[in-house]
Amino acid sequence: MIHSIEWVVGETAGTRPVALAPDVAVGGRDVVMMAGPCSVETYEQTRAVAAEVARLGGRVLRGGAYKPRTSPYAFQGLGREGLEILRAVANEFDLLIVTEALGVEQLPLVAEFADVIQIGSRNMQHYPLLWAAGETEKPVLLKRGFMSTIDEWLKAAEHVASRGNERIILCERGIRTFETATRNTLDVNAIALIKQTTPFPIIADPSHGTGRADLVTAAARSAVAAGADGLLVEFHPNPAEALSDGDQALPLAALPRFRAEIERVARALGRGIC
């Protein structure tokens, strides 16, 4: 059977939208943009990004307060202070926050501050964390493990759901392959497959998916074309000075153009963006 484009994208595929607020849902008609710095570094940096997100009509701010860094000597995030900064600027601009919980101990604190709890790639099979997230009432953004199959990822989502929380948003963030020209390989196949076979909304993270700012926009367009319900994208006022993931961050000045590019693809599919 050949399916129409309408069947592949949006609610008609059987996606159960996850509401983040009365007027924002992931998996509905609009492609939801979640933009912000990799790490919350300062109040001024985070506020600058939030102001621009809101000015352009965006509703969701991303930013890490607890960072999973490969090196223990790298910046590990501001912790609670980062959550407080996120909440303050989000409230000022009426935005929603997505931020990562690294461990079970800090999950209640993150759940208190965040509108969406992010579970990172390295933690996709951290079952106690999945169970703890499943016991909260907040939507859970479950990133794909960079060494995980789609089946392992969906089973991880079932672990969250098994504790009663079915408000799960999957996030394809690139997997490790033999390719070294890019940090990861964004698996666009996974987006199409998940839209066709599961009720979970799926978004894409083209920042970690490529690791290169010059490829982020093209990767984001491809993800939306494949049916992604949203994007998680890193923006920084000055990427050269970012304390984490500067190579893949788009400058904040590029946000208007980025949104316009994504909106063109979304409109071609009968969707809008927010």
Tell me how far, at minimum, the Cβ of 68 lies from ligand PEP, in Å: 5
Q: Which is nearer to ligand PEP, 80 or 122 (CB)?
A: 122
Q: Is 273 a binder of Mn ion (CB under 5 A)?
A: no
Tell me how far, at minimum, the Cβ of 93 lies from Mn ion, in Å: 22
Distance CA 269, CA 113 (A): 34
Q: Which is nearer to Mn ion, 52 or 245 (CB)?
A: 245
Count the helices and strands in the chain (H runs, E runs): 10, 12
**What tokens does 63 get?**
């930013």
List phi, psi (to 5°) of 168: -115, 130
Tell me how far, at minimum, the Cβ of 148 lies from ligand PEP, in Å: 11
The amino acid present at 55, given as its one-letter code, is R
Report how many residues bind Mn ion under the rule CB under 5 A. 2
Q: Which is nearer to Mn ion, 43 or 75 (CB)?
A: 75
Q: Which is nearer to ligand PEP, 126 or 173 (CB)?
A: 173
Distance CA 121, CA 148 (A): 9
The amino acid present at 128, given as its one-letter code, is P
Site string for Mn ion, 78-97 (x = CB under 5 A): --------------------
Distance CA 97, CA 61 (A): 5
Distance CA 253, CA 52 (A): 9
Cβ–Cβ under 8 Å, residues 118 and 127: no
**What tokens does 113 get?**
């501050």
Site string for Mn ion, 240-269 (x = CB under 5 A): -----x------------------------
Closest C-alpha to 112, from 82, 88, 142, 136: 136
Q: Which residue matches tokens 């070294």?
A: 180
Q: Which is nearer to ligand PEP, 122 or 155 (CB)?
A: 122
Q: How far from 127 is each of 23, 36, 170, 206, CA to CA, in Å?
A: 32, 28, 16, 26
What part of residues 17-46 is at the interface with Mn ion (CB under 5 A)?
Answer: 38
Q: Which is nearer to ligand PEP, 173 or 271 (CB)?
A: 173
Residue facing Mn ion at closest CB distance: 38
Q: Which is nearer to Mn ion, 38 or 117 (CB)?
A: 38
**From the list ligand PEP, Mn ion, none, partner contacted by residue 121 (C-beta under 5 to 8 A by kind):** ligand PEP
Cβ–Cβ under 8 Å, residues 168 and 142: yes
**From the list ligand PEP, Mn ion, none, partner contacted by residue 195 (C-beta under 5 to 8 A by kind):** none
Residues within the interface to ligand PEP (CB under 6 A): 38, 64, 68, 120-122, 143, 173, 205, 208
| Interface ranges with Mn ion (CB under 5 A) | 38, 245
